[in-house]
Amino acid sequence: MDKQTAIQRIQELHQQLNQYNYEYHVLDKPTVSDTEYDLLMNELRQLEELFPELLSEDSPSQRVGGKPLDAFEKVEHTTPMLSLGNAFNEEDLRDFDRRVRQTTGDAVSYVCELKIDGLAVSLKYENGLFSQGSTRGDGTIGENITVNLKTIRSIPLRLKEAVSFEVRGEAFMPRKSFEGLNEEKQQNGEEPFANPRNAAAGSLRQLDPKLAAKRNLDIYVYSIADTGEIKVDSHEEALNLLEKLGFKTNPERRLCSNIDEVIAYVEGWVTKRPSLQYDIDGIVIKVNSLYQQEELGYTAKSPRWAIAYKFPAEEVTTKLIDIELSVGRTGVVTPTAILEPVKVAGTTVQRASLHNEDLIREKDIRIGDIVIVKKAGDIIPEVVNVLEERRTGEELEFHMPTHCPECESELVRLEEEVALRCINPKCPAQIREGLIHYVSRNAMNIDGLGEKVISQLFQEKLIEDVADIYKLEKEQLVQLERMGEKSANNLIEAIEKSKESSLEKLLFGLGIRHVGAKAAKTIAQHFETMENIQAATFDELVAINEIGEKMAESLVTYFNTPEVSELLSELKELGVNLSYKGPKLVNVADVDSYFAGKTIVLTGKLEQLSRNEAKAKIEELGGKVTGSVSKSTDLLIAGEAAGSKLTKAQELNIEIWDESRMVEELNK
């Protein structure tokens, strides 16, 4: 066969196999036998072997999995993958509806979708071709798992139209696939997966894509991350468009005209849930109008236009064998119930939080009690109550200790707190937990240095504070359990790389009381260097927006401690960056620009700059870029295919520029 004939035949096979794949895995209506499909696939592979230059990334043959990876690279989400607020009852749903209508002032319709219990993923397409797939990660940074996502046959490698956009979906393992996988694991003498969600997550994080391909995962796509060039006015329209382009969306969704219809839909699925061939843990309710979604906007963590109703948690009975105590990085002593193993919501539970002594007293929980356990939000196990009628008289009352179970220091209860706290700064448990926090994803993000490795290093006295992490040598690491030479090399590289982290990561990693990740970034951006933060007064700190008196007091106390000054000096000597690397704050008074002090919205497709580039340039000139149009918006910059934001700006008589005018002003 000559090359031209091969090109034509390969194109025909692509078209045929993609259509058959779509009919089988998306529509669930196969039109050819497995034998016929396999024959066509074998023909395609033979042609690609004869003419390797004709093998393309979107070929149906690429779904079987490529070469194993060494590791997953980190990727930043263009649009953050936010979490959703939760509702647990009818009252919560009605409160959500009330808040929505107070803002929009209009009648509101909602789209209800089943909340699949799987792994949230993001899929990027360029000119209709699948270019990148990633995990949610922390919502801002995920992992590139493109090769594994290609093995999910319901993900189209080529769309029916050449569009460029990013979509979000939930990858999951159907119950049938889960049962088959666990049966195989048991036959091989391996530990079975606890539930389909863990199995799906584990499959997509396999470094060998061929293993992922064997797991028979599926996906439902549930939103377009940024409509960009896509012209749709509602969430329902977006889902219909995704179907038209070749994606698999959940057919059980429903458009509801009011909150009463939403509640009826939710109540129906509480009982119908077991009939599905996959696991769900709730219902997602979204405002249908994209215009209203923009108007409602976002909090720091979640959209105001959506909420997740969580199904009532499954409750089971078991025996409370003992109560253990643990000391956190802030010194709080937390009691934990040790239970006879019991299955709850698909996983085996042996421990449950008891929170504090007051809760134990309130529920009269005793060692030896028969208790009812549930998973709060289907995630965290907790003791609901005690079955007092089943007591034998042998149960033991529990009393919190007067001294720290780790260091024997006297415990204190601070004013207005229910928790007992160890205030010894040299308490081993606090130091160990502080080290675990320091290396975590939202802090210094040191890959390979998890809780188990930190605990081993601490136990072997190889590390006593965060500075010791940067003194570790490969020879010390290879002696640890399950730490080979390659893992040790990778860990040393990850530690070295963490030295380059921006100041806010270090500030959060130090575990200063009341200082979360967001506050750390605000402080780092304002002061720019660790030296400036150390010198900051209480008044200078509280003058910063979002920094309250408690946080300011905590920061001043922390940085006035001699040991802290010594630690920071040591980190500097070891090469750890102590400066802020992100976008600088702009003093509007010092900027001679039209954008200074103005609130600006970008919409539509920009040709000369990406949206992120335009945002960065505007912010450098003192402007504030927001995601939604409101009365406080000063300027809307409209690219091609601008939609509802442009309409709203016109209604509010907001100044509107095109991209050329923006670029002209930026270049002045």
**pTM score, whole prediction:** 0.58
Q: Of 204, 201, 208, 211, give the one whose Cα is nearest residue 279.
A: 201
Q: Which residues contact 555 (CB under 8 A, 6 or more apart)?
A: 512, 515, 523, 533, 536, 541
**In the listed set 308, 325, 347, which residue is the last one of a domain according to the structure?**
308
Q: Which residues contact 150 (CB under 8 A, 6 or more apart)?
A: 62, 63, 65, 130, 133, 157, 209
CATH number of the domain bearing residue 277: 3.30.470.30
Q: Measured between alpha carbons, how far is 18 from 638 in angstroms, rounded to an integer? A: 37
Q: DSSP E strands: which ranges in 54-118?
A: 74-76, 85-87, 110-116
419 in a domain, yes or no?
no
> Which domain does 437 fall in, by range?
428-498
Q: Of 204, 168, 152, 199, give the one whose Cα is nearest residue 78.
A: 168
25 band by pLDDT with thresholds 50, 70 and 90: low
Q: Measured between alpha carbons, how far is 243 from 212 in angstroms, rounded to an integer? A: 25
| Range 165-178 average pLDDT | 92
Burial class for 610, CB neighbours closer than 10 Å (0-12, 13-18, 19+)? exposed
Residues 234, 321: one domain? Answer: no
Q: Which residue has the tokens 């802290």?
A: 564
Q: Of 159, 133, 156, give the one whose Cα is nearest residue 24.
A: 156
Give residue-wise pLDDT tens across range 206-235: 877 788 888 889 999 999 987 656 778 899
Q: Measured between alpha carbons, how far is 446 from 437 in angstroms, rounded to an integer? A: 11
Residues 136, 11: one domain? Answer: no
187 in a domain, yes or no?
yes
Q: What is the pLDDT of residue 360?
A: 93
96 band by pLDDT with thresholds 50, 70 and 90: very high
Q: What is the mean pLDDT of the chain?
A: 87
The phi and psi torsions of 510 (rounded to 5 degrees) equal -70, -15
Does 376 score more than 70 pLDDT?
Answer: no
Residues 494, 507: one domain? Answer: no
Q: How far is CA 512 from the centre of its chain?
A: 24
Q: Of 232, 282, 324, give the one whose Cα is nearest residue 112.
A: 282
Contact between 14 and 55 under an 8 Å Cβ cutoff? The reply is no
Number of domains in the chain: 6
The phi and psi torsions of 168 (rounded to 5 degrees) equal -120, 150
CATH number of the domain bearing residue 623: 3.40.50.10190
Contact between 449 and 469 under an 8 Å Cβ cutoff? The reply is yes
Residues 332, 347: one domain? Answer: yes
511 in a domain, yes or no?
yes
Contact between 224 and 306 under an 8 Å Cβ cutoff? The reply is no
User: What is the Cβ-side half-sphere exposure of residue 42, based on CA atoms within 13 angstroms?
Assistant: 6
Q: Measured between alpha carbons, how far is 48 from 98 in angstroms, rounded to an integer? A: 59
Does 625 score more than 90 pLDDT?
Answer: no
Q: Measured between alpha carbons, how far is 213 from 203 in angstroms, rounded to an integer? A: 9
Neighbours of 26 (CB within 10 A): 19
| Range 274-284 average pLDDT | 90
**In the listed set 412, 439, 472, which residue is the last one of a domain according to the structure?**
412
Q: Which residues of 480-511 are buried (b: 16+ CB within 10 A; e: fewer)?
A: beebeeeebebbeebbeebeebbbbbbbbbbb
Give residue-wise pLDDT tens across range 35-81: 777 788 878 888 888 888 888 877 877 766 555 556 678 888 888 88
Three-state secondary structure call for residue 624: strand
294 band by pLDDT with thresholds 50, 70 and 90: confident
120 band by pLDDT with thresholds 50, 70 and 90: very high
Residues 104, 148: one domain? Answer: yes
70 in a domain, yes or no?
no
| Range 578-600 average pLDDT | 79
CATH number of the domain bearing residue 378: 2.40.50.140
76 in a domain, yes or no?
no
Residues 564, 649: one domain? Answer: no
% pLDDT > 70, the chain:
95
Q: What is the pLDDT of residue 377?
A: 56
Give residue-wise pLDDT tens across range 541-586: 988 877 888 899 999 999 998 889 999 999 999 999 999 998 776 6
Q: Measured between alpha carbons, how far is 542 from 168 in angstroms, rounded to an integer? A: 39
Residues 402, 436: one domain? Answer: no
* Catalytic positions, written as ranges: 115
421 in a domain, yes or no?
no
Q: What is the pLDDT of residue 243?
A: 95
Q: Enumerate the β-bridge partners of residue 372.
A: 317, 385
| Range 100-129 average pLDDT | 90
263 in a domain, yes or no?
yes
**In the listed set 349, 384, 412, which residue is the last one of a domain according to the structure?**
412
164 in a domain, yes or no?
yes
Q: Which residue has the tokens 């979604």?
A: 293
CATH number of the domain bearing residue 443: 1.10.150.20
Give residue-wise pLDDT tens across range 309-344: 988 877 899 999 999 999 988 889 999 999 999 988
Residues 491, 542: one domain? Answer: no
Type and span of the H or E element at 491? helix 485-498
Residues 180, 296: one domain? Answer: yes
Burial class for 100, CB neighbours closer than 10 Å (0-12, 13-18, 19+)? buried
Q: Measured between alpha carbons, how far is 37 from 20 in angstroms, rounded to an integer? A: 8
483 band by pLDDT with thresholds 50, 70 and 90: confident
Residues 489, 599: one domain? Answer: no
Does 264 score more than 90 pLDDT?
Answer: yes
| Range 189-217 average pLDDT | 82
Q: Measured between alpha carbons, how far is 202 from 182 in angstroms, rounded to an integer? A: 13
Residues 340, 487: one domain? Answer: no
Residues 272, 353: one domain? Answer: no
User: Of all residues in the chain, what percent are helix, strand and coil, respectively (each to 5)?
Assistant: 40, 20, 40
Question: Who wins on pLDDT, 266 or 202?
Answer: 266
Does 471 score more than 60 pLDDT?
Answer: yes
